[in-house]
Amino acid sequence: MTTVASRPSRSPRQAPVFSKDLLEGQVILVTGGGSGLGLSMSEGLCQAGAQVVICGRSPERLGQAAEKLRSLGGKAGAIPCDVRDAEQVAQLVAKTVESYGKIDGLINNAAGNFLCAAEDLSVGGFDAVVKIVLYGSVNTTLAVGRHLIARGAPGSVLSILTPYAWTGSAFVLPSSCAKAGVLAMTRSLAVEWGIYGIRCNAIAPGPFPTEGAWSRLVPDAAMIEGLAEQRVPMGRVGAHSELANLAVFLMSDASPYQNGDCVTIDGGSWLSGAGEFSEYTRYDRERLKTLFKAMRPKK
């Protein structure tokens, strides 16, 4: 009774979706761009012609990532920075402007996270995540925003959230609180900075395999397989290229009217847990239809 028929599906497109000059002349800062989804989005931005500047705490990892982007033909630089520290963020903006002339866009991607029962969480543990995610995103957004406003230039700020920014989630209390704060920042500044031509949007990804997330959030590989199969209507985790394409679109002039939005990319996952009767999708569909039919009033 609990079998789900295998799903017909399209494979994510691997070839570039956008023209090579979509982001030509744009300088885009990606926090946490040295690994995982930040690196994949940076690759997408490079393929669309942007000058990308990645930042993170580990200079070694950052240098290797920038080298990889350049080896693929991208224009990429790396500047170490801890986004928790507003002074380092001010330096990051100053150095980027000195090296590349300006900044046009920012992706707030840097994050910290771990699984912990709330009753076992220390003050330091809560601080560690909230300072990276919420304070970090505020620090970078205000610094880049000030630069754009001073230049009188339009710009785009994109923050990477997760659907539990609005649903909340067990075992990731600091991350839930921080991501909710970044969503509030996005919506607040979309209105406040619209007059300057600065667009603020967000993406809420569902599960996308990365070393950083999986090592901290998936205690056992079989658990995520089961989760994807049961929770995600599309029956699978996300592919990095799918997220990168969405990020490039939102950062580009292909979406100049998009402001204050949060686009979910999770295969329908969060909604599947919300609908009262969505659990029924786990049942064999023909058997389900027979049951529905049997419930119809007899004429």
| Residue whose tokens read 């979309």 | 190
Closest CB 136 distance from ligand HXC, rounded Å: 11
Which of residues 96, 208, 259, 267 is near ligand NAP by CB under 6 A? 208
- 62 makes contact with ligand HXC (CB under 6 A): no
Region binding ligand HXC by CB under 6 A among candidate stretches 119-127, 189-197, 231-239, 291-299: 119-127
Contact 212, 36 (CB under 8 A): yes
Which of residues 86, 90, 97, 116 is near ligand HXC by CB under 6 A? 116
Region binding ligand NAP by CB under 6 A among candidate stretches 55-63, 143-151, 186-194, 220-228: 55-63
- At 110, which helix (H) or strand (E)? none
- 216 makes contact with ligand HXC (CB under 6 A): yes
Closest CB 194 distance from ligand NAP, rounded Å: 24
Please give the DSSP secondary-structure letter assigned to residue 148: H
Cβ proximity to ligand HXC: between 112 and 155 the closer is: 112
Strand segments (E) across 125-270: 155-160, 198-205, 262-265
- 124 makes contact with ligand HXC (CB under 6 A): yes
- 207 makes contact with ligand HXC (CB under 6 A): yes
Catalytic residue from among 100, 135, 164, 283: 164
Contact 66, 54 (CB under 8 A): yes
Cβ proximity to ligand HXC: between 153 and 271 the closer is: 271
Closest CB 237 distance from ligand HXC, rounded Å: 10
**What SS3 state is found at 201?**
strand
Closest CB 14 distance from ligand HXC, rounded Å: 23
Contact 227, 263 (CB under 8 A): no
Judge residue 179's burial from the number of C-beta atoms within 10 Å of its C-beta, 0-12 exposed, 13-18 middle, 19 or more buried: buried
Which of residues 31, 51, 137, 162 is near ligand HXC by CB under 6 A? 162
**What SS3 state is found at 140?**
helix
What is the C-alpha separation between 277 and 298, in angstroms, rounded?
A: 23
What is the C-alpha separation between 44 and 60, in angstroms, rounded?
A: 22
Residues counted in the chain = 299
Cβ proximity to ligand HXC: between 26 and 109 the closer is: 109
Q: Which residue is nearest to ligand HXC (CB)?
A: 124
Question: Is the dihedral angle over the CA atoms 146, 27, 205, 200 positive or is it negative?
Answer: positive
Region binding ligand HXC by CB under 6 A among candidate stretches 19-27, 140-148, 150-158, 211-219: 211-219
Let me know if 164 is a catalytic residue. Answer: yes
**What SS3 state is found at 252?**
coil
What is the C-alpha separation between 217 and 198, in angstroms, rounded?
A: 34
Cβ proximity to ligand NAP: between 34 and 49 the closer is: 34
Can you give the binding site for ligand HXC, defined by CB under 6 A? Answer: 111-114, 116, 122-125, 128-129, 162, 175, 207, 212-213, 216-217
Which residues are annotated as catalytic?
164
